[in-house]
Amino acid sequence: MDKQQIASLTRDIVAKRLPQVSPDKITPEAEFAVLGVDSLALSWMLADIEDTFEIEMQIGDAMKLKNTAAVVDYVAKRLAE
């Protein structure tokens, strides 16, 4: 799976968990906090990401993911392992 596919799926997950946010606001650089992601939404997003990409995130790693670009890089790295 290439980074473009990972980015598309990640954006879809974020959009699903943030229905109040216009999809065009969900850019790679948009920080989750600015988009209104609270701890519950973040937990659900991370669970969806783990399920979608069949990876397990370490809590320390997950807390460092502040935007979709960081998630895409993290997932790509984990899938390459």
Structure tokens at 27: 């850019």
**Alpha carbons 37 and 79: distance in angstroms, whole number:** 25
Contacts of 75 (CB under 8 A, 6+ apart): 6, 10, 49, 53, 55
Which CATH number is 29's domain given? 1.10.1200.10
For the chain, how many structural domains are there in total?
Answer: 1
Q: What is the pTM assigned to this prediction?
A: 0.92
Domain that holds residue 30: 3-80
Q: What is the pLDDT along the chain (81 residues), one digit of tens a residue?
A: 999 999 999 999 999 999 999 999 999 999 999 999 988 999 999 999 999 999 999 888 988 999 999 999 999 999 999
With CA atoms as reference, report the closest residue to 32 among 14, 49, 16. Answer: 14
